[in-house]
């Protein structure tokens, strides 16, 4: 058998399953429980094999200090912090991250990390490709007026191609899979493989665009631009057939740019009369129009209002609370900004840190993030380029959506993995 039990239970396969379960859980509610099953199952397996060990790693000091100041914020909260759903979610991620670090300690080495880089791309692309097909089918059903009970969240139906309650998080997962698929596309050895990878590239791109996420739309355009530049660079000394494929791929990117310009300028070069009368399609267009130059301020206003409220709360705080924070009471203050009085926050993990852990906690958080970027830059030549893009993409979403560094499991996963790179001696050739 190609997949022996030993291979399935190997470190690289186990970590790949944890990663895809993490991404799956962010894009669809069905995957939320899967990640904890995989994590606890694999942790138990390593524990039984006595491979759970603790090794010296300076990064742990920064990480546990960040965790300590989060816990300090819990103690500083006037009421019960556990009444806030976002806090309970963060606590689950904190427990998840501790177990994940034990797993890395016990099994990581230069060889299996290299295999992990390759395996996780294929598994992630396969799973997210399947979910993108589900998302596109759901969008098609919406155009026909068909709704499915599975996609109702808190009384609201998930918009467009989105399969969860958060369109931004959903689009992030699709973009990550798109990055990995593009990496596989460029490393494909045959023309047939490249044609095959164009299929998920197309479905993932459409799913992002139809999700209604403005950040997803912008980052996808940027990603295609980067991919186009790489395609031009790699096309030198290639066979003619490969050049044609790259040309067609780049032409798709140009077509998307032209279509976007057509929407923003109102030239109506494309006949979309029938679709323009469908509410789902009209809403998607209206979302994209808000990122045009004359409306960019309006599209960013929801974040600026939240940040202004945060600094107003800081101005009203005592010197002690400014330095040490005042806990998570601010979540209650932010409920007034929402229609249904649900949990809300500044949507920037640095700003939130200023509120719950003060200047002191934010300084340690900032230094840890800087350390991560320095490590990523220093070891950029020994890891796959797609991992760098995945981290930068996730960081950009965290900066506009996260309440804390523990808001996204994926961000914690990548932060821990990157900071373990200095302990990988042999260069990873991918």
- Among residues 45, 207, 124, the alpha carbon closest in space to that of 410 is found at 124
Q: How many CB atoms are located within 10 Å of the residue 141 CB? A: 13
Cα separation of 13 and 30, whole Å? 21
Cα separation of 134 and 47, whole Å? 37
Cα separation of 181 and 201, whole Å? 6
Cα separation of 233 and 229, whole Å? 6
Q: Which residues pair with 153 in a beta bridge?
A: 156
* DSSP codes of every residue in 395-426: HHHHHHH-SSTTS-HHHHHHHHHHHTGGG--S
Tens-digit pLDDT profile for residues 346-372:
888 999 999 999 999 999 999 999 999
**38 touches 18 (CB < 8 A):** yes
- Among residues 27, 393, 288, the alpha carbon closest in space to that of 174 is found at 27
Cα separation of 285 and 303, whole Å? 21
Domain edges within the chain: 5-423
Residue 34: its H or E element: helix 32-48
Tens-digit pLDDT profile for residues 150-204:
888 877 888 888 988 888 888 999 999 999 998 898 888 887 888 888 889 989 9
**346 touches 355 (CB < 8 A):** yes
Provide the whole-model pTM.
0.82
- Residue ranges of the chain with pLDDT lower than 50? 1-2, 267, 269, 271-277, 426-430
């Amino acid at each position: 058998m190609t997949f022996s039990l030993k291979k399935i239970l190997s470190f690289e396969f186990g970590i790949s399953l944890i990663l895809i379960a993490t991404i799956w859980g962010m894009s669809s509610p069905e995957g939320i429980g899967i990640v904890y099953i995989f994590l606890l199952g694999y942790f138990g397996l390593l524990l039984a094999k006595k491979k759970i060990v603790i090794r010296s790693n300076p990064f742990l000091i920064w990480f546990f200090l960040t965790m300590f100041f989060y816990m300090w914020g819990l103690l500083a909260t006037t009421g019960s912090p556990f009444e806030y759903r976002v806090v309970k979610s963060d606590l689950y991620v904190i427990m998840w991250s501790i177990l994940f670090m034990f797993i890395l300690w016990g099994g990581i080495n230069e060889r299996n990390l290299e295999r992990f880089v390759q395996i996780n791309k294929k598994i992630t692309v396969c799973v997210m490709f399947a979910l993108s097909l589900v998302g596109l089918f759901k969008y098609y059903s919406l155009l026909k007026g068909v709704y499915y009970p599975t996609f109702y969240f808190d009384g609201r139906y998930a918009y467009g191609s989105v399969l969860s309650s958060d369109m931004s998080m959903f689009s992030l997962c699709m973009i990550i899979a798109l990055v990995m698929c593009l990496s596989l596309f460029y490393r494909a050895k045959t023309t047939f493989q490249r044609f095959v990878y164009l299929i998920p590239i197309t479905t993932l791109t459409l799913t992002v665009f139809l999700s209604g996420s403005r950040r997803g739309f912008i980052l996808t355009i940027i990603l295609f631009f980067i991919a186009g530049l790489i395609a031009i660079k790699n096309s030198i000394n290639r066979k003619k057939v490969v050049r044609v494929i790259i040309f067609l791929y780049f032409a798709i990117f140009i077509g998307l740019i032209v279509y976007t310009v057509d929407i923003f300028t109102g030239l109506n070069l494309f006949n979309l009369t029938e679709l323009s009368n469908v509410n789902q399609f009209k809403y998607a267009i209206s979302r994209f129009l808000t990122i045009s130059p004359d409306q960019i301020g309006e599209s960013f206003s929801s974040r600026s209002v939240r940040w202004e409220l945060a600094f107003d709360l800081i101005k009203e705080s005592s010197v002690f609370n400014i330095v040490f924070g005042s806990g998570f009471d601010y979540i209650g203050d932010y409920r007034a900004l929402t229609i249904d009085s649900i949990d809300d926050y500044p949507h920037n993990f640095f700003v939130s840190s200023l509120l719950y852990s003060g200047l002191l906690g934010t300084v340690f958080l900032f230094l840890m993030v800087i350390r991560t970027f320095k490590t990523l830059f220093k070891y950029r030549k020994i890891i796959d380029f797609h991992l760098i893009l995945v981290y930068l993409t996730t960081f950009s979403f965290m900066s506009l959506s996260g309440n804390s560094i523990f808001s996204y499991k994926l961000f914690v996963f990548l932060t821990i993995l990157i900071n373990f790179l200095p302990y990988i001696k042999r260069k990873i050739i991918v």
